[in-house]
Amino acid sequence: VATFDTYEAALARAAAHARAWLESVGERPVRPERTAADLLAGFGGTLPEGPSDPATVVDRLASNAEGGLMAMGSGRFFGWVVGGTLPAALGADWLVSAWDQNTGLRTATPALAAAEEAAGAWLVDLFGLPARTGVGFVTGATMAHFVGLATGRDTVLARAGWDVAERGLVGAPPITVLVGAERHDTVDLALRFLGLGRPVEVAADDEGRLNPDALARTLAAVDPGAPILCCLQAGNLHSGAFDPFGPSIDLAHERGAWVHVDGAFGLWAAATPSLRHLTVGVERADSWSSDAHKTLNVPYDCGIALVADPLAMRASMGIHADYLIEDPASGDPQERVPELSRRARGVPVWAALASLGRSGVAELVDGLHARAVSIAEGIAAVPGATVMNVVVYTQVCVAFEDDERTRAITEALMSEGVVWMSGSRWHGRDVLRVSVSNWATTAEDVEASVVAVARAAAAH
Ligand SMILES: *Cc1c(COP(=O)(O)O)cnc(C)c1O
């Protein structure tokens, strides 16, 4: 029988394991020490024939995971673009699980729908977007691209006299999709899901910013009247650079294009006066993607889909069925995301923003940028190291004299475990990538990380 007692012991054990992890995450080696294949022995074997005590299962989960967790919450984790976890967001995330509300419908789960609507309005304010912008909380920026580009696809085809919902894509007027040469691969993925195929690349400059002259030339070659989607980027994975939004959006709109902006981690520059210059004009786009699980530091997972025309968003995403209790005036959460049943992912966002306030968000983003600049300055002084990008935001890309040395240093750093910086390739060279995305990174972490790079470089 499910009484409170049956939860109590499992929750107490989970809280104890969570505390032990959070207390130690900054001291642990950043890299995992065991492989998934190795860990599977603990988790796997044959399916248990019968039940086990819930608290014991929680204990077993924690002990099976030991050695197999990456210390992504460490202040010295700089891999990909990941982020950390703010205390208020983690607490809220636990409550979302305990409350277990399927937050698809406004009338069914009013408290969480309201918290998400408040969070959405705060985000629109912080990003400086049009007040009516529709906000959906999805799993990540990939699905946020999907939402923005699905709405864009449906809208540009409707303007061309084609109703995708009724007729599908077969036989539709072909859509030309333009992307910057250095867009994130997830844009291509969302386009694939949407049946739009491979996009046309527009040339980018040395920092990876789309070149508006090249965009003008590419647009000039598109047939008059053809439906167009144009994808821009706020925050290049390697350089952190931002596309020139004003001129690019104007050019695209002159041709009736729908403009979508991938702002997975970069849209947050708009939330601080000191970096807002990077996003000037971005508010004139038609849709935007961002992540809360990266720069805002809420626990995984939470992406943010934003569409300037909320009715177009609802038309593309919503389902309408007799058994649902819909709220036609305000729109339901399910009408702004691909899912019907859904976790209230926006609630940890509400908690994060409530705990930081406007000034706290600005300080968070400024702090990430400041520490990225410090790391770049520190590494630039390491013999043989070249910082390849202008550190306008949170990303630093470093190359040593040749690819072999860069790879050797990257591998040495990762196996030592003091820091985690992922390797990549950029502009034809192997690079060491540093992404400062965690609120927990301190000046001491920066110093220890630069020392670790110097140590690895001295040994290779
Ligand atoms: C991380 C990232 C994405 C993908 O986001 P997910 O949350 O992993 O789906 C897209 N674009 C950029 C620039 C990113 O950094």
pLDDT digits (tens, 9 = 90+) for 277-314: 999 999 999 999 999 999 999 999 999 999 999 999 99
Residue 317 Cα to ligand 1 midpoint, Å, equals: 21
What is the rounded distance in angstroms from the CA atom of residue 382 to the CA atom of residue 367?
A: 23
Angle between helix 54-65 and helix 4-24 axes, rounded to 10 deg: 20
Res 323 pLDDT > 80: no
393 to each of 268, 274, 277, 370, how far by Cα in Å? 10, 11, 11, 8
Average pLDDT over residues 40-64: 95
CB-based contacts of 452: which residues, under 8 Å, 6+ apart? 76, 413, 416, 418, 419
Question: Within 13 Å and on the Cβ side, how many CA atoms surround 400?
Answer: 21
Share of the chain above pLDDT 70, in %: 100
Average pLDDT over residues 35-63: 95
pLDDT of amino acid 432: 97
CB-based contacts of 54: which residues, under 8 Å, 6+ apart? 6, 7, 9, 10
Ligand 1 close to Cβ of residue 291 (< 6 A): yes
Please name the residue that has the structure tokens 């005036």. 329
pLDDT of amino acid 5: 82
pLDDT of amino acid 106: 94
Res 2 pLDDT > 70: no
- Band (4; pLDDT cuts 50, 70, 90): confident
Average pLDDT over residues 317-330: 79
Residue type, 317: M
Residue 411 Cα to ligand 1 midpoint, Å, equals: 24
Ligand 1 close to Cβ of residue 190 (< 6 A): no
Question: Within 13 Å and on the Cβ side, how many CA atoms surround 302?
Answer: 31
Ligand 1 close to Cβ of residue 180 (< 6 A): no
Which long-range contacts does 94-103 make (Cβ < 8 Å, 24+ apart)? Answer: 95/347, 96/343, 96/344, 96/345, 96/347, 96/348, 99/344, 101/344, 102/341, 102/342, 103/333, 103/342, 103/343, 103/344
Closest CA to 350 of 127, 121, 147: 121
Residue ranges of the alpha helices (H) in 291-393?
310-317, 346-380
What is the rounded distance in angstroms from the CA atom of residue 134 to the CA atom of residue 144?
A: 12
140 to each of 60, 191, 301, 333, how far by Cα in Å? 30, 15, 6, 16
Handedness of CA 49, 52, 58, 63 (dihedral sign): negative
Ligand 1 close to Cβ of residue 240 (< 6 A): no
pLDDT of amino acid 358: 98
Res 89 pLDDT > 90: yes
> What's the chain's average pLDDT?
96
pLDDT of amino acid 1: 61
Handedness of CA 393, 394, 395, 401 (dihedral sign): positive
Please name the residue that has the structure tokens 């990008």. 389
With the most atoms of ligand 1 within 8 angstroms of its CB, the residue from 146, 261, 262 to mutate is: 262
Paired tokens of 210: 């789309």
CA 52 from chain centre, in angstroms, equals 37
Average pLDDT over residues 146-173: 97
Q: How many CB atoms lie within 10 A of CB 92?
A: 23
Ligand 1 close to Cβ of residue 186 (< 6 A): yes
pLDDT of amino acid 278: 98
Helix, strand, coil share (%) of the chain residues, nearest 5: 45, 15, 40
List, for residues 5-20, the tens digit of each pLDDT value: 889 999 999 999 999 9
What is the rounded distance in angstroms from the CA atom of residue 166 to the CA atom of residue 434?
A: 47
List, for residues 390-420, the tens digit of each pLDDT value: 999 999 999 999 999 999 999 999 999 999 9
pLDDT of amino acid 6: 83
> 3-state DSSP call for residue 200?
strand
With the most atoms of ligand 1 within 8 angstroms of its CB, the residue from 187, 279, 291 to mutate is: 291
pLDDT of amino acid 320: 78
Write out the H or E segment, with its range, that includes residue 303. Answer: strand 303-307
Average pLDDT over residues 164-177: 96
- Band (368; pLDDT cuts 50, 70, 90): very high
342 to each of 187, 197, 254, how far by Cα in Å? 23, 29, 38
> 3-state DSSP call for residue 5?
helix
What is the rounded distance in angstroms from the CA atom of residue 200 to the CA atom of residue 361?
A: 36
Residue 296 Cα to ligand 1 midpoint, Å, equals: 13
Going by alpha carbons, the residue nearest to atom 2 of ligand 1 is: 264
Ligand 1 close to Cβ of residue 140 (< 6 A): yes
Ligand 1 close to Cβ of residue 81 (< 6 A): yes
Write out the H or E segment, with its range, that includes residue 248. Answer: helix 245-254
What is the rounded distance in angstroms from the CA atom of residue 368 to the CA atom of residue 393?
A: 8
List, for residues 327-343, the tens digit of each pLDDT value: 777 789 999 999 999 99
- Band (144; pLDDT cuts 50, 70, 90): very high
At 398, give phi and psi (nearest 5°): -120, 140
What is the rounded distance in angstroms from the CA atom of residue 246 to the CA atom of residue 250?
A: 6
Res 422 pLDDT > 90: no
CB 150 within 8 A of CB 160: no
